[in-house]
Amino acid sequence: MITVNEMSKTYQYRKVIKPQLERKRRARINKCLDDLKELLVECMQQNGQSNVKLEKADILEVTVQHLRKLKSHPKQQISCNNHIVNKQSFRNGYIQAANEVSHCLASLPKIDVAFGTKLMTHLGLRLNQLESVEEITPTSINTPLTLDCSTTQFSRPILYSPVSSGYASDNDSLRSSPSFCPSAQGLLKATMAYSTKTEIYQKIKKPLLERQRRARINKCLDAIKRLVVELQGDENILRMDKAEMLESTITFLRSRKIKQTKCSSHVAPVNTFRNGYINAVNEVSRLLASTPGVSVDMGKSVMTHLGRSYNRLQQQYHHQQKETLTIQCPHSPASSGYHSDNTQSPLATPTPAFKLWRPW
């Protein structure tokens, strides 16, 4: 027989503990959905849709699309984020080389003004050509999440029944019923007299839409679980509940975003600055070789000046890197805040006072 204590424990769990756990679980799920929406805000703002209101099912569908893009193109996102930084640093390197050429030509005696104008015009036109070629690439590289958020209308099943749509009149609803006949018209009118559009919506359409919404949410959650398992390679996610699975998805997306920012901030600017500078140097060398009447001494002086200026810029860059490392990692034990017990600070040890002279 079930004792009173066991009945009280079961009653306490059903009436007190279980509702609290359910509220906590729903709060975690709602927080995860808000975090997912924040991760997708940047893509929506680029398409001019910052005020779009997405439901829970819509957020999950967009997340599924993003994870599928990551699965199909794992390295596309890093290259997309690096493109803007690479283009800007390439332009800076090219313009730096063009400025050095201008300074060198201004310092040389007996320089032909027409040749200098031709050289600088050629460098400017060549830079515009290179930038126009880079802009022909697909526009999807500018989207941070590699998906098209311009369409906010998601595919939903269309209800063709006039009764389930909630906008049909009483006569249309009667004609749409398969068992309609003239003899039963009076009975149907009597039974449907009290039924209005609001009652039809509450009894038929609203439960149907709620079932469809829950089906969309469950389908998206299953798809997210499978995609995260394939991307991370961790099968323990299959045994997680909905809240834990969404939290692991957010952690994965945030860690991937941090890796992309690190890759785009460390390696890309130096290499592309060098490429832009060398590209401009090659253009100058090609134009000097193809232009008749240019002296060899002038060509040597220009190319030597470009090489020296590049070495000077490279030394300055390495010197700045060393300074940042020394600032981040101080070598002084006093500045680091670490002191051993054996070493005594000179301020901590008392110094004997000088003897004062007295007449007695």
User: Nearest to residue 112, comparing CAs of 289, 286, 295, 285?
Assistant: 295
What's the chain's Rg over C-alpha atoms?
Answer: 36
Contact 98, 281 (CB under 8 A): no
Return the residue matching tokens 């990692």.
329
Question: What is the DSSP track for 216-248?
Answer: HHHHHHHHHHHHHHHHH--GGGGGS-HHHHHHH
Whether residue 64 lies inside any domain: the answer is yes
Asked if 260 and 78 count as a contact pair (C-beta separation under 8 A), the reply is yes
CA distance 221 to 64: 9
- By the 8 A CB rule, do 85 and 188 touch? no
Residue 291 per-residue DSSP state: S
Q: Is residue 186 part of a domain?
A: no
Task: Record the tokens describing residue 13, joined without a space.
Answer: 């769990």
8 A C-beta contact, residue 249 and residue 231: no
pLDDT (tens, 9 = 90+) of the chain, 360 residues, equals: 556 565 677 777 778 888 888 899 889 888 888 888 888 776 566 556 655 677 888 888 888 888 888 888 765 544 555 555 555 678 888 888 888 888 888 888 877 888 888 888 988 888 888 877 655 544 443 434 444 444 444 444 443 343 434 444 444 444 444 444 555 555 455 455 546 777 777 778 888 888 998 899 889 888 888 888 888 888 888 888 888 888 888 888 888 877 776 665 544 455 678 888 888 889 888 888 888 888 888 888 888 988 888 888 888 877 776 665 554 444 444 444 444 444 454 444 545 544 544 444
Q: Which of 249, 269, 283, 360 is nearest to 313 (CA)?
A: 269
Q: Residue 167: inside a domain, yes or no?
A: no
Domain span holding position 29: 8-153+239-325
Distance CA 257, CA 254 (A): 5
Q: How far, in Å, are 40, 164, 225 from residue 234 at the CA level?
A: 24, 44, 11
In a domain, 169, yes or no: no
Residue 220 falls inside a structural domain: no
pLDDT of amino acid 13: 77
For the chain, the domain total comes to: 1
What amino acid is encoded at 340 in this protein?
Answer: S
- Which DSSP symbol is given to 159? P
Closest residue by Cα to residue 49 from 123, 117, 128, 143: 143
Residue 200 in domain: no
**pTM (predicted TM-score):** 0.41
